[in-house]
Each structure stands twice: as structure tokens, then as C-alpha cells.
Amino acid sequence: MTGYIRASIDSYGMSNSRKVHVKSFGCQMNVYDSNRMADTLAPAGFTETAEPGEADLVILNTCHIREKAAEKVYSEIGRIRVLKEEAARQGRQMLIAVAGCVAQAEGQEIVRRAGAVDLVVGSQNYHRLPELLARAQSGEKVVDTEFPVEDKFEVLAAPQREATAKRGIASFVTVQEGCDKFCTFCVVPYTRGAEVSRPVTQIIDEVARLAEAGVREVTLIGQNVNAYHGLGADGEAWTFGRLLRRLAQVPGIARLRYTTSHPRDMMDDLINAHADVPALMPYVHLPVQSGSDRILEAMNRKHTRDDYLAVIERLRAARPDLALSSDFIVGFPGETEADFRDTLALIEEVGFASAFSFMYSPRPGTPAAEMDDQVAPEEKAERLQRLQALVTRGQHAFNASFAGRPLDVLLEKPGRLPGQLVGKSPYLQAVQVMAPRSAIGSVVTVTVTEIGSNSLFGEIADAPQLAAVGA
Ligand code: SAH
Ligand code: SF4
Ligand code: F3S
């Protein structure tokens, strides 16, 4: 299928040595997609630049999840428009493309509202970029937000070796995209479409390719990653647990993570993988949204508070050192002070290592936006503050519990001070240690000596792999 891309590039005669700047908003899937877009444009002579001012093409990869996120796009377009006008004065064409979930949700409306935009490309159409770009270059306003019949993953360029090496040693890989769950507050089923799993072989090949380019940690991503049911070469639909076990065998992969999982799809084989796949990190992001059964029902989450607690019990039984993070929405329509207290009580009961929390934002086209009993903004803000204070306390207690204890750290890049490297613990804490640059990519055991507000500090206690790399 790569012929599809090559044909479009050749026939539209794009010149070499152009620069693309891609800016991602929103979730990790947008980060992954941004890299795939850059990789897909590479054969057309595009290299990535961090400077929007020198780019021939600026892609804004947007998020529609809350009103604030969606509105941010327009102020960003305003900033890029100034650079575009400056480029035009210098006799240079700069194209502005809007991709991602706002593109999918608003389509044509974007070019109507922001005349500087040349191209709007929906989340399922990135493989068509070279062709769409050629049309935009000749002055047409291009909008492509149809859900296509062909599979974009079949056509999108695989991660490019050189670009991958520059992107660091931790990488995302989309294994599942879209959502059929229709929580009443959420736009994702509309912006990402129906749930689709990538075939097993495609994922194994991509992970192997990343590992060859130096990636040591892979986070498998999807809107409901544990609903994965991709087709294996054996003709069977593989479960997510089976996929994890297989990927743990890819040479060079030291760590596996996944996000986001849904409480309803926590099957036994995934829970068991936490017990017996050492590469699978003991840290799970499991959004619950609310601790009140009444609100969970109105959200159409299709699980109760007790169902959620039972999943956590099974996870902790499989892997006693497992820690959890979650997402919370405060001020969902009809949420009373008593409902909110149920959420606070759930947080105390579980003891999350970290959490993301949001004020409910009514989204166009979703059922909750039409519900009576919308909560007043001041009420939402006050609840958010109380919830975040509780989460922060829990987070500090979690971090403090590591003082003097050993932690395995995957060293990722130079740290704050000369001679320092920074890496990640199994729980995604940043850990700073003195170590030689050659140790980047190694997993070392670190004794934690100090707990900072944003990172932990430690000394290398044991580094079998450092000897192996000759440091
Ligand atoms: N697929 C994931 C979540 C994807 S969206 C899941 O099922 O949990 C990421 C988070 O954004 C959600 O978990 C939710 O907490 C938050 N969110 C989604 N829609 C929102 C809205 N309308 N207002 C406020 N927060 C929202
Ligand atoms: Fe949105 Fe719910 Fe689907 Fe998550 S499961 S993406 S919150 S609809
Ligand atoms: Fe945002 Fe789309 Fe991700 S709405 S959270 S970028 S799936």
C-alpha cells in the first residue's frame, strides 16, 4: 500500500527540503498521530522543525474533549497566522493545517471561522495528507473529514528510524482507536469513530522497528485499550493480555505500559499478565469519573462504584506493588454535594498515586449537555479545588513512601545538572541520578535519597546493564 503515498507525492511534484512543524494538543493518541503524520510527509522531503516561523507547513493536531481545549485552537491559529503573513512578505508560502478531533468535529466550520487555515484533515484521514496538501498548495481550501473505507494504518508510514531515534527511548503505539461506549459527557465516539483494533502483526512489526531504533519502553494506547480484539496471523481475535505477552518478547523492549483502560474491560488474562509479565509496569491508569452510583449511571459508564473497587482488588491481588491513577469529572449535571463526597471517599479508599480531574464541560451533540440540573460554574470550581487538594495529598504521600527505598529507573535523557541523567520509575515518577550519558536506555536500581516536588533524587545502587554498555 505504500505505493499509494508514493504515487500521490510524485504526481503532485512536491519539492524537496521543506519543513513541517506539528503541534499536538490533547491526549497521547495525538502525540502518536503527530509523529505518524511527520513520518508520512518525510518521503515528500519534509523534515520536522521545532520552529513554526521557519515551517512551510504548520499542523495543529487538536483536541475537542472540553470547551477550553477546543477554543485554544483558534487563538493558536491567530498566532500562526501572523507567522504566515510574515512568510508571505518574504515571498514564502506557509500552509496551515488543522488535524485531530476539532477538525473531525467542526470540519468546514474551521475554514469559515479562521480564513488563514488552508487544510482541515480529520483523525482518520492522515494517510491522505500528501494528496490533500498538494491540493491546498494550489490554493484550494481543503476539508477532508469523511471516515474512509480504507484502513489508515495500512497506508500511514511506519515510524522512520532516524526520526524515532530523535524522539527518545519511550514511545507510544496505537493498538486500538475509537470508542463504542458513549458515556453521556464524551465527544470521543464522534471524533474518533467506532472502536477498531489494529491487526497483531502490524503492531509487533511496529514495536520491533521502534526497538531497533533504540526505543526501550512502549506505551500501548487506545481510547479503550483493553477492549483490544485485533486479528492475529492465526486467524483468531487476540485479547489484550495475549498481545502484551507477545510484545514482552520483542528483543530490546524493557518496559510495557498501556492507557487508557476501561473498568468494564479488565479481563482475567490482562489481570494475570500483571502477575507474570515482568516488563508490564505495575502502574495502571483506570478512569472512574465519579464515586457516586447515581452519577455513574447518568454518565452511562455501565459500572458501579463497587465494580470499580472489585477490579482494583483483583489487580492488587495479582501485583501487590501496583499503583493506580484515574480521571475524575466534577459537576456533572445533577451532581449533589453528597454525590461529590462519594467521589472524595472513593479517592481516600483507593489511594491513587496520581489523578487528572476536570470540571464538567458540556459538549455539543452529547446527551449530558442537554440534561437539566447543570451545576453552577462556581460550584464546579470549588469541588475541583477540594478534589485536587485531596489528590495532591495522596500523591505526596505516595512519593514520600519511596524515601530510602530502591526503585528501578529507566534512564531517558540528560538531567538538570551536568553529569545527571533523568529517568522514569515504574510509576512514571521522574528520578534524577548521577550517571554517565552512555547509560541512557539502561534500567538501573536507584536508592531514593530525596523527595522533591516534581522529581525524586537518588543514587545508583545496582546497575548490571551499565557494566554491559561499558560505562
Ligand atoms: N477513554 C477514556 C477517557 C478519554 S477522555 C475513558 O474511558 O476513561 C479523557 C478524560 O477527559 C476522561 O476520562 C474524562 O475524565 C475527561 N472528560 C471527557 N469528557 C469530558 C467533559 N465533557 N467534561 C469534562 N471532562 C471530560
Ligand atoms: Fe469517552 Fe467513555 Fe469512550 Fe472513554 S469510554 S472515550 S470517556 S465515551
Ligand atoms: Fe482530545 Fe481527541 Fe484525545 S478529543 S483527548 S485529542 S481523542
Return d(Cα 466, Cα 462) in angstroms, integer: 9
361 lines ligand 1 (CB under 6 A): yes
Task: Using the predicted structure, report yes or no on whether residue 321 has a pLDDT greater than 60.
Answer: yes
Residue 120's pLDDT band, with cuts at 50, 70 and 90, is very high
285 lines ligand 3 (CB under 6 A): no
Mean pLDDT of 184-213: 96
330 lines ligand 1 (CB under 6 A): no
287 lines ligand 1 (CB under 6 A): yes
Cα dist from 51 to 48, 99, 167, 238, whole Å: 9, 18, 16, 42
Cα of 263 vs centre of ligand 2, distance in Å, is: 11
Residue 166's pLDDT band, with cuts at 50, 70 and 90, is confident
pLDDT of residue 463: 63
Return d(Cα 192, Cα 173) in angstroms, integer: 16
Q: Which ligand is nearest to the CA of 34?
A: 3
- In tens, the pLDDT along 346-369 reads 999 999 999 999 999 999 999 999
pLDDT of residue 151: 81
- In tens, the pLDDT along 129-150 reads 999 999 999 999 999 999 887 7
Phi and psi at residue 369, to the nearest 5° = -65, -25
Mean pLDDT of 79-97: 96
65 lines ligand 1 (CB under 6 A): yes
Return d(Cα 423, Cα 254) in angstroms, integer: 13
- In tens, the pLDDT along 15-74 reads 568 999 999 999 999 999 999 999 999 988 999 999 999 999 999 999 999 999 999 999
358 lines ligand 1 (CB under 6 A): yes
Cα dist from 52 to 23, 123, 215, 216, 302, whole Å: 9, 22, 27, 30, 44
- In tens, the pLDDT along 367-417 reads 999 999 999 999 999 999 999 999 999 999 999 999 999 999 999 999 989
Q: 28, 29, 63, 179: which to mutate for ligand 2, most atoms within 8 A of CB?
A: 179
Cα of 260 vs centre of ligand 2, distance in Å, is: 10
Q: 179, 191, 224: which to mutate for ligand 3, most atoms within 8 A of CB?
A: 191
pLDDT of residue 401: 96
- In tens, the pLDDT along 218-270 reads 999 999 999 999 999 999 999 999 999 999 999 999 999 999 999 999 999 99
Cα of 116 vs centre of ligand 3, distance in Å, is: 23
